[in-house]
Amino acid sequence: MKKLKIALFTGNYNHIKDGVSLTLNRLVRFLESKGHEVLIFAPSIKNPPLEHAGKMLEVPSIAAPGREEYRVSLFLPEVLRLELDDFKPDIIHVATPDILGLRALFYARRNSIPLVSSYHTHFPSYLQYYNLGFLERPLWKYLEWYYKHCEKVFVPSKSMLSWLRGIGFGQEFTLWSRGVDTNLFSPEKRTSELRRSFGIKEDDVVVAFVSRIVWEKDLRTVIDVSKKLIKENKNIKILVGGDGPALEAMQNELPEAIYAGYRSGEKLAEVYAVADVFFFPSDTESFGNVTLEAISTGVPAVVANAVGSSSIIVDGESGYIAEPKNIDDFTNKIRRLTDDAVLRKKVSKAARERAMQFKWDTIMSGLLNDYHEVVRNYKSEK
């Protein structure tokens, strides 16, 4: 197949380590390993936490109001537009349909270049946490208009795809799932030494929550369920992995928990492997990378019945699905696993087998085939 030149526009590439930035960096590494060229346009900060893949051109941006760790892209400067002209992309991929994404759309239409987009962040579900629900309707209207101008729109899960169709989106969405490194996130990473270092006894049962520590991950449910579990069973230990702006508030409300802090790579895999049950009540995910990493480690998961995580977990087999924000439902389903070691072992095996279906190379190859299809069809139509 022809070697492609791909221009990638995204609102997050190296200034926050989250599911979006890690997925896009993995995509760029994959594309470059296959001989394709990628040019990335994204905001950044001084001393970004993520060493990014590929050639990235920084666009002007400001801190997001009320959430300074996020950046809002402002525009595409003339000097960067000239670099884009010289690059001569075969296809443009917009990961964030923000102001920068809008400029990319106008550029693509003006220069007859096919444009695709991917739905990474379930923005409307975030609005409820910041008293911005009044923006939901205009946001959907804008997204519907934007996606109508895309050759393909990639969605990370079947449940997300069904949800978008259910609210009336007429676009033809394409599934671009997420993968997991099953060698890194493996049951073999479990060590009694790390459990002991956290003060966990041999007969303790560990319930883990791993995420960016932000309120839109439904920390309220994490805190309330954790307190209830600890009160009922002195042998249950709550392990929290991750960092974020709400960490101090969470520590104040849930001082009983063990806080592992932010970890990546092998150290993150070891944190998952300490757990006996994984607990993730967030209903704002478009996929749920942490859930996939947990079950790949052989840890049964209890997740919210919401788009994203519910596509990963097979209810009653690789874990359980609970009603969002329902404290009793989450508590009861977690308790099934904490109280029954035989059941945990059975679900753990099924969880690992489920994760083996999500291979990164297969998933990235599928996206590359979609790129080729879009370029081929676009040229034939012209």
- Reported as a single tens digit per residue, the pLDDT across 302-339 is 999 877 677 789 999 999 999 999 999 999 999 999 99
Q: What is the 3-state secondary structure (H, E, C) of the chain?
A: CCCCEEEEECCCCCCCCCHHHHHHHHHHHHHHHCCCEEEEEECCCCCCCCCCCCEEEECCEEEECCEEEEEEECCCCHHHHHHHHHHCCCEEEECCCCHHHHHHHHHHHHCCCCEEEECCCCHHHHHHHHCCHHHHHHHHHHHHHHHCCCCEEEECCHHHHHHHHHCCCCCCEEECCCCCCCCCCCHHHCCHHHHHHCCCCCCCEEEEEECCCCHHHCHHHHHHHHHHHHHHCCCEEEEEECCCCCHHHHHHHCCCCEEEECCCHHHHHHHHHHCCEEEECCCCCCCCHHHHHHHHCCCCEEEECCCCHHHHCCECCCEEEECCCCHHHHHHHHHHHHCCHHHHHHHHHHHHHHHCCCCHHHHHHHHHHHHHHHHHHHHHHC
* Averaged pLDDT score across all residues of the chain: 90
- Reported as a single tens digit per residue, the pLDDT across 189-238 is 998 899 999 999 999 999 999 999 999 899 999 999 999 999 999 999 99
Domains and CATH numbers, the chain: 5-179+359-381 (3.40.50.2000), 187-355 (3.40.50.2000)
Q: Which two tokens stand for residue 340?
A: 């029954």
- Reported as a single tens digit per residue, the pLDDT across 263-299 is 989 999 999 999 999 999 998 776 788 999 999 999 9
Question: Does the structure show a pLDDT above 60 at 124?
Answer: no
In DSSP terms, 39 is beta-bridged to 7, 55
- Reported as a single tens digit per residue, the pLDDT across 42-97 is 999 999 989 999 999 999 999 887 677 778 899 999 999 999 999 999 999 999 99
pTM of the predicted structure, to 2 decimals: 0.75
Q: How many residues does the chain have?
A: 382
Q: ∠ CA(271), CA(277), CA(281), 5° rounding?
A: 95
Question: Does the structure show a pLDDT above 60 at 126?
Answer: no
Query: Which pLDDT score is estimated for 160?
Result: 77
Query: Which pLDDT score is estimated for 243?
Result: 94
Query: Which pLDDT score is estimated for 129?
Result: 57
Question: Does the structure show a pLDDT above 80 at 170?
Answer: no
Query: From CA 222, how far away is CA 240, in angstroms rounded?
Result: 10
Query: Which pLDDT score is estimated for 134?
Result: 64
